[in-house]
Structure 1
Amino acid sequence: MPEGHTLHRLALLHQRRYEGTPVAVSSPQGRFAKDASLVDGRVLERAEAYGKHLFHVYGPDLVVHVHLGLYGTFTEEPLPVAEPRGQVRMRLVGPTHWTDLRGPNACRLLNDAEVDALRDRLGPDPLRADADPDLAWARISRSRTPVAVSLLDQSVIAGAGNVYRAEVLFRHGVHPLLPGRALDRGRWEAIWADLVVLMREGVRTGRIDTVRPEHDPEVTGREPRRDRHGGEVYVYRRAGLPCLVCGTPVSWSELSGRKLYWCSTCQPE
């Protein structure tokens, strides 16, 4: 599932290409046709992201909400438009570009109250200027739930996914099964600050890189990571491979239905 930086990149891209102009909105597939007709030809006022949610705002009580889920993708192309290929849930055509949305978990028209209700269910987003990390700390510090579970709970922190979860815990030497209430405040503040930096870099580059400069392939002489997700990481999807810091084989297990990666030496219990 795309992590929060991907949605913020899409919001910035759509803002740049479509903001302030009338756009044609349709649903070649038909599943979004009724809602599309209500915003077709209207001016897109802004695009913004909150966690893993994307919002196209057309005016009072007219907000298209997209959640990509596991399979959703946007394809972006310059004009002229082409015939739809595959199951296109939503097509957006602007003055210079067009984009097709396929396979999202959600694509629907919401009013302002529904948007507020959705956002109220989410925790602070490290990529938003209005984020309040104390709200997340209040939840984590009172909980027996492992920190690794809380970091993926979108009602605690919005936008972080399995990659950022694994990597930020490694970078701060926190065992993933540590109960939230056993995490000290200083360590939490460092984790949050690191998430902000790492996710902002993800917005800038379009990939997740978490390895510090001294552990880069160019410095250590190791082979660069080859993975369809891209990016240099410490433990994510490196089960059984040597830790880049200490050489211990990276551990993995499943926790709440998601794969968990950590180094038993760098992240002791």
Structure 2
Amino acid sequence: MPEGHTVHRLAAEYGRRFRGSRPVHAASPQGKFADAAALLDGQPMTAAEAHGKHLFLGFAGLGWVHIHLGLYGKVAFGDGPAPAPAGQIRLRLAGPGGWADLRGPNTCTLIGDPEKQAVTDRLGPDPLRPDADPERAWRRVSAARSAIAGLLMDQSVVAGPGNIYRAEVLFRRGIGPYRPGRDLDREEWDGIWADLVALMREGVRTGRIDTVRPEHMPEAMGRPPRRDDHGGEVYVYRRAGADCHVCGGEVRSAELAARNLFWCQGCQPHLPGAR
């Protein structure tokens, strides 16, 4: 499932291509969104925004197209006239700025302002949004008995981070993934939040997740670059059994809340100051 920075990049690209006063052509070649697409066809897109992993495309007077990509959803953009539809395209938008095809989303529905508000009310603060309030997340974290690694994957606590960001931020802050949220102090939480903001903003800028500090990059350490479908240089994500770039210990993996968790026992003790 795409992490939050990807959804913010999609919102920016939709906005760049279609937002404005010019009418947008909307269609659902697959047919599952045909009725809503007929309402949108010929109307201008007035907004494109993201909150966590949720994408909202606004059409004044009609509402919002709410998109959640889920595990299989993808968006493809192109310039010029749109090609003949091929495959299962849930929503195609086309206009002077090119075209965009949405395939396989978990959610694609036309909703009003109250329904949009209901969705965002269920979400925690998004580190990429200017209106984010980290205090809301801290209140949840500081009262929780559950592991901080699980809390960071809970979209009602923090919206946007996924498996990669949670593993990497905890490593960078030296925090054991199984520590209960209530055992963190405010300085540790502030460090987690600041790292999420910085790393996810960089992800929006580059389109990839890089979490390794300059002194641990391949050229600085004389090691080969990472080769992985997800791209980017990371400390622990998908590196189970490999040597830690910092302490040389073995990177570990376990399952937590049905997702693979990665950490270094040497750099991330379970308790503050422990080894």
Residue in 1 that maps onto 2:104: 103
| Contact map agreement 2:17 2:97 (CA 8 A) in 1 | yes
Matches for 1:151-230 after TM superposition, within 5 Å: 151-230=152-231
Any runs of at least 4 consecutive aligned residues in structure 1 with deviations exceeding 3 A, and if so which? none
Residue in 1 that maps onto 2:120: 119
Deviation at 1:261, TM superposition (A): 0.2
Residue in 1 that maps onto 2:10: 10
| Contact map agreement 1:2 1:68 (CA 8 A) in 2 | yes
**1:70-100 superposed Cα distances (whole Å, 9 cap, x missing partner):** 1100011111111111100000001131010
Residue in 1 that maps onto 2:249: 248
**1:95-141 superposed Cα distances (whole Å, 9 cap, x missing partner):** 13101000100000000000000000000000000000000000000
Q: 60-69 vs 239-248, which deviates more? A: 60-69
2:149 is paired with a residue of what secondary structure? Answer: helix
How many residues matched? 269
Tell me the TM-score normalised to structure 2 length. Answer: 0.97
Instruction: Please provide the CA RMSD for this pair.
Output: 0.7
Q: State the distance in 1 between where 2:131 and 2:187 align.
A: 21
**1:203-253 superposed Cα distances (whole Å, 9 cap, x missing partner):** 000000000000000110100000010000000000000000011110000
**Any stretches of 5+ residues in structure 1 without a counterpart?**
none
Q: State the distance in 2 between where 1:79 and 1:148 align.
A: 44
**Any stretches of 5+ residues in structure 2 without a counterpart?**
271-275
Look up the equivalent residue of 2:158 and give its one-letter code. Answer: I
**1:21-74 superposed Cα distances (whole Å, 9 cap, x missing partner):** 210111000000011111111110010000001100001451001000011000
Look up the equivalent residue of 1:11 and give its one-letter code. Answer: A
Residue in 1 that maps onto 2:268: 267
Matches for 1:78-89 after TM superposition, within 5 Å: 78-89=79-90
Look up the equivalent residue of 2:261 and give its one-letter code. Answer: L
Q: State the distance in 2 between where 1:265 and 1:204 align.
A: 32
| Contact map agreement 2:52 2:126 (CA 8 A) in 1 | yes
| Contact map agreement 1:61 1:112 (CA 8 A) in 2 | no
Q: State the distance in 1 between where 2:92 and 2:239 align.
A: 38
| Contact map agreement 2:40 2:62 (CA 8 A) in 1 | no
Residue in 2 that maps onto 1:65: 66
Look up the equivalent residue of 1:55 and give its one-letter code. Answer: F
* Percent of residue pairs bearing the same amino acid type: 61
Tell me the TM-score normalised to structure 1 length. Answer: 0.99
2:139 pairs with 1:138: yes
Q: State the distance in 2 between where 1:90 and 1:80 align.
A: 16
